[in-house]
Structure 1
Amino acid sequence: MTTEIRHIVFDIGKVLIHYDPNLPYSRIIPDHAEREWFFANVCTHEWNLEQDRGRTWSDAEALLVADHPEREEQIRSFRKYWHEMVPHAYEDSVAILEQLIAEGRDVTMLTNFASDTFREAQERYPFLRKPRGVTVSGDIGLIKPDVAIYDTHARSFDLDPAATIFIDDSYPNVEGARAAGWHAVHFTGAEKLRSDLAAHGIKV
Structure 2
Amino acid sequence: MKPKAVVFDIGNVLIEWQPERFYDAEIGEERRRAMFSAVDLHGMNDAVDRGGHFTDTIYATADANPDWRAEIRLWHDRWIELASPVIEHSVRLMKALQARGVPVFSLTNFGIQSYDLAAGYYPFLREFDRDFISGHMGVIKPDPAIFERLEADSGLAASELIFTDDRADNIAAAHLRGWKTHHFTSPQGWADRLVAEGLLDATEAR
Does the TM-score normalized on the shorter chain lie above 0.5?
A: yes
The answer to whether structure 1 residue 94 and structure 2 residue 91 are counterparts is yes
Instruction: Tell me the alpha carbon deviations over residues 134-184 of structure 1, each in whole angstroms, 9 at most, x when there is no partner.
Output: 111111110001110011112222222111000111111111111222111
Preserved CA contact (<8 Å) 2:107 2:133: yes
The answer to whether structure 1 residue 82 and structure 2 residue 72 are counterparts is no
Counterparts of 2:141 and 2:15, CA distance in 1:
18
- Indicate which of 12, 17, 20 corresponds to 1:19: 17
The answer to whether structure 1 residue 168 and structure 2 residue 162 are counterparts is no
Aligned residues: 200
What residue in structure 1 maps to residue 174 of structure 2? Answer: 177
The answer to whether structure 1 residue 46 and structure 2 residue 43 are counterparts is yes
Deviation, structure 1 residue 23: 4.8
Kindly tell me: are residues 24 and 198 of structure 1, through their superposed partners in 2, closer, same or farther at Cα, counting changes over 3 Å?
closer
Preserved CA contact (<8 Å) 1:43 1:75: no
What residue in structure 2 maps to residue 147 of structure 1? Answer: 144
Q: In structure 1, what residue type is equivalent to 2:155?
A: D
Counterparts of 2:82 and 2:24, CA distance in 1:
11
TM-score between both structures, scaled by the size of structure 2: 0.89
The sequence identity of aligned pairs, in percent, is 34
For structure 1, the residue ranges without an aligned partner over 5 or more in a row are none
The answer to whether structure 1 residue 136 and structure 2 residue 133 are counterparts is yes
Preserved CA contact (<8 Å) 2:49 2:135: yes
Kindly tell me: are residues 11 and 52 of structure 1, through their superposed partners in 2, closer, same or farther at Cα, counting changes over 3 Å?
same
What residue in structure 1 maps to residue 59 of structure 2? Answer: 61
- Kindly report the root-mean-square deviation, in angstroms, between the aligned alpha carbons of the 2 structures: 1.7
Deviation, structure 1 residue 43: 4.5
Q: Which of 39-48 and 95-104 deviates more?
A: 39-48
> Matched residue of 2:107: which SS?
strand
For structure 2, the residue ranges without an aligned partner over 5 or more in a row are none
Preserved CA contact (<8 Å) 2:53 2:112: no
Counterparts of 1:180 and 1:61, CA distance in 2:
37
Preserved CA contact (<8 Å) 2:35 2:68: no
Q: In structure 1, what residue type is equivalent to 2:131?
A: V
Kindly tell me: are residues 76 and 107 of structure 1, through their superposed partners in 2, closer, same or farther at Cα, counting changes over 3 Å?
same
> Matched residue of 2:6: which SS?
strand
What residue in structure 2 maps to residue 122 of structure 1? Answer: 119
Preserved CA contact (<8 Å) 2:132 2:150: yes
Counterparts of 2:46 and 2:13, CA distance in 1:
18
Preserved CA contact (<8 Å) 2:5 2:162: yes
What residue in structure 2 maps to residue 35 of structure 1? Answer: 32
Counterparts of 2:5 and 2:183, CA distance in 1:
17
What residue in structure 1 maps to residue 107 of structure 2? Answer: 110
